[in-house]
Structure 1
Amino acid sequence: MNVLWALFACVWIQHAAAVRYFDQLRVPQTASPWLAIYKIWNDPQRRMSTGLPPRYKRSISSPSRISFTFHRLAKIILCWALQLFIIGPLVPLYFNFTAQDFAPSRKVFLRRLLPLHNNHHPITLREIQIRLFLSIYWIWIAYLMLDLCNALLSIIFSVILRLDTPDEWQPLFGSPLQACSIRRFWTKFWHRLTVSCCASSGTKVTRRLIGMTPGCRSEKIFVAFWTFLLSGLCHVIADWQAGEPCHPHDDLLFFVANFMASALELLVVRRLERVKGYRADHDKDIWSVLLKTTNRVVGYVWVLGFFFWITPKWQYPKLYAVLTQVQGY
């Protein structure tokens, strides 16, 4: 939880800097000043309306708020029951983790498949299972914690205090079915808490310091890189402030690698679109359905494979440090 609150602090500081210095947002003259200020300063995703005072807003019926509360609470209870009573107890029983499972030599996988590296430990089924598990588990834990905070705050501010409407508190995460590529994982499924503020500071760098043309392709690429880079720095600062094992190189590597994977996907997609256009002229219906299904299946495998490779490089050093201390190695 200490890391979570440290991350929230990093997000809000970036948001405050964007509001005050980069975007220099102003309170709308038609809005209730105190309500508009509250919404501007506490909405890093820029989803809320700074709009009209409460008396001019469309009234939200009690049943609507009750339904909103019920669905949010039901989701929290279901997810946390799954974690506390099924996943949490079963994982230690099945894996019985030791520090050696996350030793520095375990970070390497692909190179150990090559015959030139016979001095490395052999790859075991247990190691593959642990890698697969952690490739998904970090996503699940982040979803669980952030969605819990979002749900509780949405109930407080839209149902109890009624400063917001339920519509202004959308879920942080999208559907995991949309994550059929690394780029879609971060843009369609993952939360967007830092995107707006990172884009604000990123465009200042491209336009004030570098002199790029606003909206050009180079600027979009740089802003995407800037967003991933700042996300990595936020995780480094959060770990450091919370007193957790801090490995700046590994955090930055994880987020920069995700940017590089997203950029690579764009290049591949453009190549495939040319082939798709050619084929569509000859057999549009069958080819389109087959290609779409194949692309999604290959995409899911690619995303899982990428996280299977990169997640241990990011998480193993932290887990190794914690378990070494706990188990007394």
Structure 2
Amino acid sequence: MENTSYSGPLSSPPPKAFKVPESLVTWDARAPLLMGAQTVVAATLICSTPKSSLLRPACLPILIGLMYLAWQVAPAFTGQGVLYSFWWVGPYANIFHCMNNLYLHPLDDNDIRHEMKISNVPPFPGGVVPPRARFLLHQCILIALQYLIMDLLASSPPPPDVVDGWARGKEWLWISALNPHPVTFDDLKNRFIECTMNWYIVGRVMNDIWYRIFAVIFVGLGLSEPKQWPPLYGDYKDTYTLRGYFGKFWHQTLRWPFQGVSSYVTRQILGLRRGAVERYANIFIVFFLSGTLHSILDVAFGGHWRPVGGLLCFPVLPLGIMFEDAVQWLWYGLIVENAEAKRASWFGRIIGHVWVVLFLAIVTPIFNYPLQRIDGNPTYLVPWSIIHTLV
């Protein structure tokens, strides 16, 4: 899909290689069924084979094959942007999850009878799990609110100066060898605003609404209990460091699939002992794997696979975490001696929030801007616009 005559974000879009349905979902549910088949294969082997069985790692080609099949039929199931992307990144992440449970950190029939805990999952408000009826009512209210936010976003196309800010090369700012455009104040302002919106509101709403929809379905049908659906996102007050943002606030759905692989690599393959080197190596591997996952979206939304954005953006995030860890160590370990002063003051938190937004504003356009330049993207945010109906 590379367009050598590209002159900016307003150029004519290339033809799409697939047709996306206009309805929210269709009866062509092959994509979710294929992803479900991955889990069935893994669950069958967990329940029927010992942990040391060679059949477990031998099933990897089957899991990969099911992933490729899901990718081929994903456009036939839905045209809703986020739900559509689930059937691309979901089967990919599910391979890591299945292989963790099968081989890297193997489970057997006895293990799965015990509930597994995942670290850093946000607690329910007040630490109390609500009863089923209150849980469902709360989810439905928030789904309606988030739907209105998405409808507002979809009903308000970006102004020309914002679209122009996505022009090819502008994600690199002052690297003149990669960015042929002059850097303007509007570029910097829009980048800062877009980053704040995307990381703190838009990204959260687009992911969170589907989590709540599935929670209503499964809890409403009695297939699971409210305690199995804790909040997907944490508290905004923890976002004054990159470590807090990604470790406490942002969703943790990829933590076990990718951290299981990173732990196996650092401890079993590299033989690293627990300590700073092992911790940072784990962080780098997890973010690198996250970068490979996000690179798939280039193909999912109509482009060829150009992994540069995802594979550069996400592995750079650990550098920011290492930098802020070093600053905090120097400040609180060598300069500040008073124990009370070591607690982050309100001023320190403000500085921290600004630091996080600035760092994300510099780094994430490397990934986001190429996606935003895919013109004529047939996927959408909301299937029915309440705003267009009322206005």
TM normalised by structure 2 equals 0.65
CA distance in 2, matches of 1:293, 1:99: 36
Corresponding residue number in structure 1 for 2:262: 202
Runs of 4 or more consecutive aligned structure 1 residues displaced over 6 Å after TM superposition: 43-47
SS of the equivalent of 1:25 reads coil
Q: Indicate whether 1:304 and 2:357 are aligned.
A: yes
- Displacement of 1:221: 1.3
1:220 partner letter: R
Q: Quick check: 1:21 aligned with 2:97?
A: no
8 Å CA contact 1:225, 1:256 repeated in 2: yes
Q: Structure 1's 64 and 184: CA in aligned 2 closer, same or farther, altered over 3 A?
A: same
CA contact (8 A) 1:76 1:151 kept: yes
Q: Which amino acid is 1:8 matched to?
A: G
Residues 97, 301 of structure 1: CA spacing in aligned structure 2 closer, same or farther, 3 A cutoff? same
- Residues 1:183 and 2:243 aligned together: yes
Q: Deviations over 1:107-142 (max 9, x none)?
A: 233557xxxx9x964433432332123212332333
Identical-pair percentage: 22
Return the offset for 1:220: 1.4
Question: Residue deviations 1:144-164, cap 9 Å, x none?
Answer: 22212211111222231x232
2:313–2:363 CA contact under 8 A, matched in 1? yes
Q: 2-side partners of 1:13 and 1:155: how far apart?
A: 26
Deviation at 1:313, TM superposition (A): 1.9
Q: How many matched pairs? A: 287
Q: How far, CA to CA, are the matches of 1:229 and 1:26 in structure 2?
A: 29
Q: Within 1, Cα distance between the matches of 2:294 and 2:217?
A: 27
Q: Structure 2 vs 1, CA of residues 198 and 149 (structure 1 numbering), >3 Å: closer, same or farther?
A: same
Which residue number in structure 1 is paired with residue 290 of structure 2?
231
Report the alpha carbon displacement of residue 30 of structure 1 after superposing the two structures with TM. Answer: 9.6
Q: Distance in 1 between matches of 2:137 and 2:291?
A: 35
Seen in structure 2, the aligned counterparts of structure 1 residues 46 and 313 have a Cα distance that, compared at 3 Å, is closer
**For structure 1, which runs of at least 5 residues remain unmatched after alignment?**
48-60
Q: Which residue of 2 aligns with 1:89?
A: 155
What are the residue-to-residue correspondences of 1:1-329 with 2, within 5 Å?
Answer: 1=81, 2-28=84-110, 31=113, 64-85=131-152, 87-92=153-158, 95-96=159-160, 100-110=164-174, 121-139=181-199, 140-160=201-221, 162-213=222-273, 215-241=274-300, 243-244=302-303, 246-275=305-334, 277-278=336-337, 280=338, 284=340, 287=341, 292-322=345-375
The answer on whether the counterparts of 2:295 and 2:307 sit within 8 Å (CA) in structure 1 is: yes
Distance 1:240 1:45 in 2: 32
Distance 2:169 2:223 in 1: 52
Counterpart CA distance in 1 for 2:286 and 2:352 is 23
d(CA) in 1 for partners of 2:120 and 2:234? 17
C-alpha displacement at 1:237, in angstroms?
2.8
Deviating more after overlay: 200-209 vs 103-112: 103-112
Taking a change above 3 Å as real, the CA distance of residues 97 and 247 of structure 1, as seen in their structure-2 partners, is: farther
**Given that residues 301 and 374 in structure 2 are in contact (C-alpha distance below 8 angstroms), is that contact kept between their aligned partners in structure 1?**
no
SS across alignment from 1:90:
coil
For the 8 Å contact 1:12–1:44, the answer to whether it is kept is no
Change in Cα spacing, 1:312 to 1:271, as seen in structure 2 (3 Å) is same
2:382 paired residue number: none
Structure 1 partner of 2:66: none
Unaligned 5+ segments in structure 2 are 1-80, 122-128, 379-391
Q: How far off its partner does 1:217 sit?
A: 2.4
Compared CA separation, residues 299 and 121, structure 1 to 2 (3 A): same
Residues 103 and 96 (structure 1), Cα distance of their counterparts in 2 relative to 1, 3 Å cut: closer
SS at match of 1:164: coil
The one-character-per-residue Cα deviations of 1:187-223 (angstroms, maximum 9, x if unpaired) are: 011111111122221122122321222x232221111
- Cα drift, residue 70 of structure 1: 0.8
Kept in 2, the 8 Å contact 1:11–1:193? The answer is: no
Letter of the 2:167 partner, please give it. A
The residue type equivalent to 2:286 in the other structure is T
Q: Would the aligned equivalents of 1:159 and 1:166 in 2 still touch at CA under 8 Å?
A: no
Contact 1:65 1:166 in 2 (8 A): yes
TM-fit CA distance, 1:83: 2.6
SS of 2:165 mapped into structure 1:
helix
Shift in CA distance, 259/243, structure 1 to aligned 2, threshold 3 Å: same
Q: Secondary structure of 1:265's match? A: helix
Residues 30 and 318 of structure 1: is their aligned pair in 2 closer, same or farther, counting only changes over 3 Å?
closer
Give the distance between the partners of 1:158 and 1:164, measured in 2 at CA.
5
Task: Report the CA distance shift for 1:137/1:247 in structure 2 as closer, same or farther (over 3 A).
Answer: farther
Paired residues of 1:172 and 1:191 also in contact (CA < 8 A): yes
Amino acid at match of 1:168: Q
Q: CA deviation at 1:90?
A: 3.5
Computed over aligned residues only, the root mean square deviation of the Cα atoms, in angstroms, reads: 3.1
